[in-house]
Amino acid sequence: MDIEQLLESITPEAFERLNYAVATGKWPEGTPLTQEQRDNAIQVVMLYQSRNNTDPQHMSVAAGGDIKLKSKSELKRDFSPAQETIVQMKASDD
């Protein structure tokens, strides 16, 4: 199987499992990855992201293969809670 066939065969669920394994060093069931598994999983995750990641997060591979680095203001905006006005009242001058 060549790389193109491999990438086409990865489902979003399989990608999430691989991504979790890369981030934590173990499969979702808790079994640790071998160094070879981790090395291969990192490569597959990066290749998959370079083809499919249309909404890259900070320090991830975007579609096209570029690494996305967000500015400090972008990160603040992404992580700050939404500010919605629920009630606005004018104080009386009594």
CA distance 40 to 9: 16
- pLDDT tens for each residue of 19-51: 999 999 999 999 999 999 999 998 998 888 887
- pTM exceeds cut of 0.85: no
Q: Domains of the chain: which residue ranges?
A: 3-69
**Residue 44: Cβ within 10 Å count:** 19
Cα dihedral 9/33/47/17 (nearest 10) = 50
The residue with tokens 């394994």 is 21
